[in-house]
């Protein structure tokens, strides 16, 4: 513990009761004990080496600092739960946050609760200390006193050991539990306020007029200036709720093809999507450009990712009735169909079986004989022959079969003559 002047906000001589600069009664606070080196690393690592307010990291030139969420002056501790990573500029500007919310009142109340509780606890600790001192004194007297004093002293010791000290111990236990709850509550409230401020700043800087008036209308906000609209929006609604509404507004405006791309591009995360909008000033044009390039990227990678061979591509083109189209057209069609790789491979398998069956039905006994002779596959069954034609000879449709049979009969005529 160290002495601290709440008015000068500075450390003061620990033996005086009043500030030697302004005369204000000094308060006690947990000393700004240097955090152990390992603690800095722990906090940085937990926070991903990023400022928890603006997201800046060392990579973009930010100087990282450790911040006490509940300030030491307000009774906050040096425990890891009360520490967070902030960049130097956020840490210094933390005090004059733009957006004051109703949370401030709650936070002040909690801070006062915390302070008075800390006072009660420190008084109890003093009392505990003096009672344990008293106990050891009594014990010492007991070993040196005469017989008729003994009875009283034993009574005192018994009372101290069995009543007074255990009562204080259990009080302290309860108070410490209460302290933890208040600290946790206060910490969360301060973080919530910090979050609301972050959201306010971000929206204030980036939101465009049409999104702003949409939000004003949607949430029936009876305010006119940008800052007032955003203040009451953020005051009364959770970030998630606001993000969901913005997401729906933009998402529902897109046609079906683009919606699928949104899911792909933003990894199915509404938050990612809205953050993209925020970073691009809510521009619909920018969004469409982004999704178009996502589509191009997808198309370029799709056939490569699927690792389809020539035969599979032909089959898929036939399946989608795109027989004479390029691979790009096929890729677009697959993207729009939203089939997964597994679904596509299943389609290929069952489509192959279906085509084999059709082929088989087109081949008469006589045809089969001619084909087997032509390819010198005398021992093949009908099933094997059809598979051979399909897999090795690219004969997949009934027209391919009739072409083949024509060819064979030409060939046979020619070789006989
Ligand atoms: Zn002072
Ligand atoms: Zn920052």
Domain end among 177, 206, 235: 206
Q: Which ligand is nearest to the CA of 18?
A: 1
Mean pLDDT throughout 354-370? 93
What's the confidence (pLDDT) of residue 112?
92
Residue 205 has pLDDT above 90, yes or no: no
In a domain, 83, yes or no: no
In a domain, 336, yes or no: no
- Select the more confidently predicted residue: 380 or 93: 380
Hey, is 178 helix, strand or coil? helix
Band of the pLDDT at 91, cuts 50, 70, 90?
confident
- How many whole angstroms from 24 Cα to the centroid of ligand 1? 5
What is the domain count for the chain? 2
* 117/111 Cα distance (integer angstroms): 10
pLDDT digits (tens, 9 = 90+) for 139-174: 999 888 888 888 899 999 999 999 999 999 999 999
Q: Domain range holding 378? A: 356-417
In a domain, 284, yes or no: no
- How many whole angstroms from 108 Cα to the centroid of ligand 1? 21
In the sheet that holds 10-12, the strands lie side by side as 10-12, 2-5, 27-29
Distances (CA, A) of 281 to 101, 208, 241, 262, 284: 25, 6, 19, 17, 9
- With beta carbons less than 8 A apart as the criterion, state whether 374 and 408 touch: yes
Domain end among 181, 206, 231: 206
- How many whole angstroms from 43 Cα to the centroid of ligand 2? 15
In a domain, 291, yes or no: no
pLDDT digits (tens, 9 = 90+) for 233-251: 999 999 999 999 999 999 9
In a domain, 128, yes or no: yes
- How many whole angstroms from 92 Cα to the centroid of ligand 1? 22
In a domain, 407, yes or no: yes
CB-count exposure of residue 243 (10 Å: 0-12, 13-18, 19+) = buried
- How many whole angstroms from 117 Cα to the centroid of ligand 2? 32
- How many whole angstroms from 71 Cα to the centroid of ligand 2? 17
- How many whole angstroms from 7 Cα to the centroid of ligand 1? 5
In a domain, 280, yes or no: no
- With beta carbons less than 8 A apart as the criterion, state whether 101 and 214 touch: no
pLDDT digits (tens, 9 = 90+) for 220-237: 999 999 989 999 999 999
- Least confident segment among 79-83, 195-199, 332-336, 353-357: 332-336
* 5/399 Cα distance (integer angstroms): 96
Domain end among 159, 186, 206: 206
- How many whole angstroms from 111 Cα to the centroid of ligand 1? 20
167-206 as b/e: b if 16+ CB within 10 A: ebeeebeebeeebeebbeebbebbebbbebbbbbbebbee
Q: Which ligand is nearest to the CA of 51?
A: 2
Percent of the chain scoring above 90 in pLDDT: 50
Contacts of 177 (CB under 8 A, 6+ apart): none
* 240/263 Cα distance (integer angstroms): 18
- Least confident segment among 55-64, 220-229, 363-372: 55-64
The DSSP 8-state label assigned to residue 24 in this structure reads P
The DSSP 8-state label assigned to residue 160 in this structure reads I
Residue 305 has pLDDT above 80, yes or no: no
Q: Which ligand is nearest to the CA of 92?
A: 2
Residue 96 has pLDDT above 60, yes or no: no
Cβ neighbours around 408 below 10 Å, total: 16
- How many whole angstroms from 172 Cα to the centroid of ligand 2? 39
- How many whole angstroms from 29 Cα to the centroid of ligand 2? 27
- How many whole angstroms from 371 Cα to the centroid of ligand 1? 106
ipTM rounded to 2 decimals: 0.58
| DSSP letter for each residue of 27-72 | EEE---PPPPHHHHHHHHHHTTTB-TTT--BGGGTPPEEEEESS-G
- With beta carbons less than 8 A apart as the criterion, state whether 75 and 68 touch: no
- How many whole angstroms from 352 Cα to the centroid of ligand 1? 87
- Computed over its alpha carbons, how large is the radius of gyration of the chain? 39
- How many whole angstroms from 200 Cα to the centroid of ligand 2? 15
Give the residue among 58, 52, 41 at the shortest CA–CA distance from 86. Answer: 52
In a domain, 131, yes or no: yes
What's the confidence (pLDDT) of residue 184?
94
Looking at 64-161, which runs of residues are DSSP E strands?
A: 64-68, 83-87
- How many whole angstroms from 214 Cα to the centroid of ligand 2? 30
């Amino acid at each position: 513990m160290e002495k601290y002047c709440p008015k000068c906000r500075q450390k003061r001589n620990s033996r005086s009761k009043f500030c030697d600069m302004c005369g204000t009664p000094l308060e006690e606070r947990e000393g700004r004990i240097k955090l152990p080196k390992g603690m800095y690393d722990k906090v940085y690592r937990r926070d991903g080496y990023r400022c928890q307010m603006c997201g800046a990291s060392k990579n973009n030139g930010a100087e990282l600092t450790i911040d006490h969420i509940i300030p030491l002056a307000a009774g906050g501790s040096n425990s890891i739960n009360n520490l967070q990573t902030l960049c130097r500029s956020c840490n210094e500007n933390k005090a004059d946050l733009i957006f004051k919310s109703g949370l401030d009142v709650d936070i002040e109340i909690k801070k006062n609760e915390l302070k008075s509780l800390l006072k009660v606890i420190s008084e109890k600790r003093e009392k505990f200390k003096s009672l344990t001192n008293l106990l050891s004194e009594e014990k010492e007297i007991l070993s040196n006193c005469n017989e008729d004093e003994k009875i009283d002293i034993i009574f005192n010791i018994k009372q101290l050991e069995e009543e007074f000290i255990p009562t204080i111990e259990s009080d302290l236990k309860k108070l410490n539990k209460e302290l933890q709850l208040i600290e946790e509550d206060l910490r969360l409230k301060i973080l919530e306020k910090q979050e609301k401020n972050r959201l306010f700043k971000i929206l204030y800087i980036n939101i465009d007029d049409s999104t702003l008036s949409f939000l004003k209308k949607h949430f029936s906000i009876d305010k006119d200036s940008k800052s007032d609209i955003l203040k009451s929006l953020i005051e009364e609604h959770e970030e998630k709720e606001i993000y969901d509404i913005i997401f729906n507004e933009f998402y529902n405006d897109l046609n079906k093809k683009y919606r699928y791309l949104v899911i792909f591009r933003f990894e199915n995360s509404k938050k990612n999507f809205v953050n993209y909008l925020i970073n691009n000033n809510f521009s619909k044009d920018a969004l469409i450009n982004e999704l178009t390039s996502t589509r191009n990227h997808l198309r370029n990678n799709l056939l490569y990712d699927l690792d389809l061979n020539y035969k599979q591509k032909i089959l898929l083109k036939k399946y989608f009735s795109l027989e004479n189209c390029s691979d790009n057209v096929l890729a677009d069609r697959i993207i729009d169909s939203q089939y997964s790789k597994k679904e596509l491979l299943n389609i290929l398998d069952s489509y192959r079986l279906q085509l084999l069956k059709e082929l088989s039905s087109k081949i008469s006994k006589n045809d089969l004989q001619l084909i087997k002779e032509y390819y010198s596959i005398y021992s093949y069954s009908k099933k094997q022959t059809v598979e051979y034609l399909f897999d090795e000879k690219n004969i997949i449709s009934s027209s391919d079969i009739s072409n083949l049979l024509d060819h064979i009969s030409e060939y046979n005529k020619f070789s006989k003559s």
